[in-house]
Amino acid sequence: MKSNQVRLNSGITMPVIGLGTYSYQNDRNTTESAIHMALKMGYRHFDTAKIYGSEPAVGNALREAILDRTVEREDIFVTSKLWGSDHHDPVSGLKQTLRNLGMEYLDLYLVHWPLKLKPWACFAVPKEDEFEKLDLESTWSGMEKCLELGLCRSIGVSNFSSKKIEGLSEFASVPPAVNQVEMHPMWRQAKLREVCRDHKIHVSAYSPLGGPGNSWGSTAVVDHPTIQSIAQKRKATPAQVALKWGLSKGSSVIVKSFNEYRLKENINALELKLDDQDFLQIDKLEEWKIMRGEFLCNETTSPYKSIEDLWDDEI
């Protein structure tokens, strides 16, 4: 197995650097050209979601690359995610995603949030009357059905706390292969990584740089003096230091950039070497969760009255 891949508990391998395709205002052409650029640089893992609206662009670019023999379908890894409005029928949700992508199967299908919405809810920020009671056992059974039908090669979750992972493991016939969560040098997820390790669940990091460039993101990670001084010492960039930290913890990193220079910078983090001293310095940084999920909490209709409820006090 190549060193830039990780083997999941489902038996398949996943490239440890993935290209995220969420962008508040991306147009289809920008996304497609970024994917073609990324493929030329060696990216083989592409991350999308129904709610991002980028599935058609991702699918189109990848199909073009397969047709012109740039890559084989077997050489790329495609992840998408079940939105809350499809919890009542994950199989139909995944079939719609596959139609959007123009593909026959996904490599990984994730439950995007531990949250069920009314079937017509179609915005990233749900309205108050769109929340439903979460029945995770029924949702997960639908995810297992997706696997059984060959619509995907692995199933997993996203934004699940340690407590929710423990709860899921009590009834899951097939354990999640991945838990994709916010993770970076200022939100290190030590407890969650340990719980996932105990259950042989791979932790994949979204916003591994703290989400700079996203409306909700921050430059606090790449601007931190500690990260900057390590970068200077290693003749690297702050982004490369942050990514290498995540990779060194055994995690994969899903990093979003449509800029040619940054795409190259990010994938070159694989070559960077950090030492114990660097890691010790990073482990002393103050912790601060950036994606807090307030938009999924309310006093009346959401199962989560507060962000403490949503994250089971892991915040």
**Residues annotated as binding site for substrate?**
112
Asked if 205 and 251 count as a contact pair (C-beta separation under 8 A), the reply is: yes
Return the sign of the alpha-carbon dihedral for residues 97, 38, 15, 293. Answer: negative
Which is it for strands 116-117 and 131-132: parallel, antiparallel or unpaired? Answer: antiparallel
* Alpha carbon distance 6, 3 (integer Å): 8
**CA-to-CA distance for 220 and 212, rounded, in angstroms?**
8
Does 52 qualify as catalytic in the annotation?
A: yes
State the helix-helix crossing angle for 225-234 and 276-283, rounded to 10 degrees: 170
Residue 303 CB partners (closer than 8 Å, separation 6+): 115, 131, 133, 134, 309
Strands (E), 13-165: 13-15, 17-20, 45-47, 77-82, 108-111, 116-117, 131-132, 155-158
* Cα(70)–Cα(42) distance, integer angstroms: 11
Known binding-site residue numbers: 112
Q: Which of 180, 215, 309 is nearest to 26 (CA)?
A: 215
Q: Which of 22, 43, 52, 304 is catalytic?
A: 52
Q: How many residues does the chain have?
A: 315
The residues annotated as belonging to the active site are 52
